[in-house]
């Protein structure tokens, strides 16, 4: 696979700028999918034929990250290119919370619209406390021409949801399951609503496999041999996503759009649950800890990019993060990055022509629900440092050699620890100073933090 990747770089380099100047973009984001939940990432049981095929047509990143270990912050980072505490969406957003993606933030669809793009969001939104209410900005206020969304989870679960809103109007009870429903709306927009010939940006954010999980019996059939009902439901939920994703890819093929479309598939954070009971049975693929943690299991996620003729086939181990999508897409269409604010994400397209990512700000994570011993983290190159909530105790790992974070090198590598901890404290200070700190000052952190 790696040989194929490098051989294809030669062909890519000759065709790099030969395609149309205004390609289309699709970001397909799942909710709580673990790094190990797909067949193409090594899951021994779950059936994901469409995503496995997709991975064989593009680049599978083995070290892709979400910008946070919980949902709302990582979503805000994708749209703004800015780390969560900088853009203000510092936590998952409860209903009627004051937290929201502010209109002062510059979003990807807003900038693409200025370039003539049609824009659409379908699926979970979760970027405001007052959803479909004048008190907070809605998807159309952030640049989406067309939107079908929920504030947070599908209600009462993924089956026959009742809480979707279409362009500001309640849709009532829908018949079907969430991921296929949102994909169907995205396809309807492409076929019947979007202005013909106009380049597009399509955001597809599924609720699956976030709880409360409910999977179609059709997609649980491959798992009937499993005695554990929770496993059948979870595995079927991933296959349900795979079906929906495949349906969208088939539509792009039939509409002759696949060749001119950059598609990126990823997850908003690592898997929920303990992995051994109930329906939240996502796999970290052996990574340490899970959703909410700043260890790899909470933030490392699937990341697959396909753009025929521009992105080669194979695997890449370069670390990338959700906020990179902002800079990468803007770089592709030659839109300058905003200069009046810090942009944390970096353009990863140079990787596909043999270059490197020019990362101005190291990858940084902070999560109020993380264990207080790993409240913040930073990665630069192969090194990752984590700090407690008081910022006076650190852990140090060399991720390329220790991807499961078993060997803390804080004591044995004092010089590297000093370098990395100083960098973490510097970035942490800058981020805290730029965001709306009145939203998070004096707010409770994790339950473990409150006990201290």
The catalytic residue positions are: 71, 126
- Strand ranges for 296-344 from DSSP E: 300-306, 314-316, 320-321
DSSP label of 42: T
User: Tokens representing 318?
Assistant: 């370069």
Which residues are CB-contacts of 390 (< 8 A; sequence separation ≥ 6)?
none
CB 284 within 8 A of CB 274: no
Phi and psi at residue 139, in whole multiples of 5°?
-55, -40
Dist. CA 274–CA 302, nearest whole Å: 19
Measured in degrees and rounded to the nearest 5, phi and psi for residue 305 equal: -120, 135
Burial 381-392 (b: 16+ CB within 10 A, else e): eebbbbbbbeee
Residue with tokens 């909470």: 298
Give the residues across from 384 on adjacent strands. 379, 397
Cα 290 to Cα 271: distance, rounded to the nearest angstrom = 6
Give the C-alpha distances (Å, rounded to integers) separating 215 from 71, 155, 236.
21, 14, 6
Cβ-count burial 47-75 (b if 16+ within 10 Å, e if not): bbebbbebbeebbbbbbbbbbbbbbbbbb
Provide the 8-state DSSP code for 128: B
Q: Are strands 118-124 and 146-150 parallel, antiparallel or unpaired?
A: parallel
Q: For the packed helices 229-254 and 49-56, what is the interaxial angle rounded to 10 degrees?
A: 50
DSSP states of 148-163 as a string? Answer: EEESSS-SSSSBS-S-
Residue 192: how many CB atoms within 10 A of its CB? 7
Distance CA 300, CA 349 (A): 20
Burial of 340 (0-12, 13-18, 19+ CB in 10 A): exposed
């Amino acid at each position: 696979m790696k040989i194929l990747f490098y051989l294809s770089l030669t062909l890519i380099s000759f065709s790099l700028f030969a395609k149309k100047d205004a390609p289309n973009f699709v970001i397909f984001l799942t909710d709580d999918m673990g790094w190990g939940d797909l067949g193409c990432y090594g899951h021994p049981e779950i059936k994901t034929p469409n995503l496995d095929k997709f991975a064989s047509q593009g680049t599978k990143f083995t070290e892709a990250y979400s910008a946070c270990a919980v949902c709302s912050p990582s979503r805000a980072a994708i749209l703004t290119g800015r780390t969560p505490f900088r853009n203000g969406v510092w936590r998952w957003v409860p209903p009627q919370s004051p937290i929201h993606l502010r209109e002062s933030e510059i979003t990807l669809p807003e900038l693409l619209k200025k370039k003539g793009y049609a824009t659409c969001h379908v699926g979970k939104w979760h970027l405001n406390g007052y959803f479909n209410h004048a008190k907070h900005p809605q998807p159309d206020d952030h640049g989406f021409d067309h939107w079908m969304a929920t504030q947070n989870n599908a209600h009462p679960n993924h089956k026959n949801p009742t809480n979707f809103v279409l362009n500001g109007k309640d849709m009532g009870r829908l018949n079907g399951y969430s991921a296929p429903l949102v994909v169907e709306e995205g396809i309807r927009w492409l076929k019947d609503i979007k202005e013909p010939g106009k380049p597009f940006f399509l955001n597809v954010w599924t609720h699956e496999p976030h709880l409360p999980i409910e999977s179609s019996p059709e997609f649980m059939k491959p798992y009937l041999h499993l005695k554990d009902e929770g496993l059948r439901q979870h595995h079927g939920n991933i296959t349900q996503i795979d079906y929906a994703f495949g349906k969208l890819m088939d539509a792009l093929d039939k509409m002759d759009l696949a060749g001119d479309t950059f598609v990126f598939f990823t997850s908003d954070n690592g898997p929920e649950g303990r992995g051994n009971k109930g329906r939240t049975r996502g796999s970290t693929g052996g990574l340490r800890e899970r959703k909410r943690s700043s260890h790899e299991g909470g933030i490392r996620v699937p990341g697959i990019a396909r753009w025929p003729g521009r992105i080669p086939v194979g695997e890449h181990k370069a670390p990338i993060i959700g906020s990179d999508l902002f800079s990468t897409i803007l770089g592709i269409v030659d839109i300058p990055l905003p200069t009046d604010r810090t942009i944390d994400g970096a353009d990863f397209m140079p990787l596909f022509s043999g270059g490197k990512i020019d990362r101005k700000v190291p990858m940084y994570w902070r999560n109020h629900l993380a264990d207080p011993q790993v409240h913040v983290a930073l990665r630069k190159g192969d090194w990752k440092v984590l700090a407690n909530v008081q910022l006076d105790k650190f852990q140090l790992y060399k991720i390329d050699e220790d991807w499961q974070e078993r060997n803390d090198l804080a004591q044995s590598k004092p010089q590297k620890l000093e370098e990395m901890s100083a960098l973490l404290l510097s970035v942490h200070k800058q981020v805290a100073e730029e965001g709306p700190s009145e939203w998070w000052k004096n707010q409770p952190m994790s339950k473990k933090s409150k006990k201290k």
